[in-house]
Amino acid sequence: MSTVSQWLNFSSLHPSILKTLQIKLHKKKPFPHLIIPHFLPEEKALSLLQALTQEHFELKESDLFTLYQTKDFISSKNKILRQFRSMLCSTEFLSPLEAITNLKLKIHTLDIAGTIYTDTNYLLPHDDQLDNRKIAFIYYLSTLKKSDGGALAFYQSKNHEPTTIVKRTQPTFNTFLLFPVTSTSFHQVEEVLTNTQRIAISGWFHGN
């Protein structure tokens, strides 16, 4: 097992910080979301990146997406990846996350895998609603310029359908992004336009 104290500074879990994050989350448009830069100490971020490069990535293709993905970390033989997963789905991490989002989450229940998007890879608009998913997250382990593409685009919606992109965020190393999964949380990964790899760890926290 791996505790939050081994990954994060306890100051980041102070009640005043959590309250600030809660306010930021719910003020964001077009739907609540939170972007946390410098999520981990840099040595931890680099150790995760190194561990991820040792995993097997399989090409995933459908009408909705083209990308490369690992298997869920629960089956990984890499200790660092398993420890990161254990930390994210521990009570110690989920309790503050529940306070920020006002959502009830299941302990030790998490979908998590590594992803790589490279030249021409993409993910079309969708809302992530499936299998009691409550919160979607992305932890970026690479940085892409606007000219590289690969932005995460957030959609305005109408009648539970995506309409117009109103916000884009470029992947930035060691940034953690999350948002509650709802009928209006439409987003996409825009096409990567260069050979710069968009490397991330992503998945979903679940509720009952």
| Non-local CB neighbours of 52 within 8 Å, separated by 6+ positions | 70, 81, 114, 141, 199, 201
Which pLDDT does position 86 carry in this prediction? 95
Q: Residue 99's pLDDT is what? A: 93
For residue 165, what is the domain's CATH number? 2.60.120.620
**pLDDT for 87:** 95
Residues with Cβ within 8 Å of 27's Cβ and at least 6 positions away in sequence, in order, are none
Number of domain units in the chain: 1
At 8 the pLDDT is 84
Phi-psi region of 7 (alpha: psi -120 to 50; beta: other; left: phi over 0): alpha
Global pTM reads: 0.95
Q: Of the candidates 75, 46, 45, which has an alpha carbon nearest to the alpha carbon of residue 58?
A: 75
Using CA atoms, how far residue 104 sits from 38, 75, 202, 207, in Å, is: 26, 25, 20, 6
Per-residue pLDDT tens over the stretch 144-189: 999 999 999 999 999 989 999 999 999 999 999 999 999 999 999 9
State which residues form the domain around 175. 4-206
> According to the 3-state scheme, what is the secondary structure of 171-183?
CCCCEEEEEECCC
Write out residues in the chain with pLDDT < 70, as ranges: 1-2, 9-12
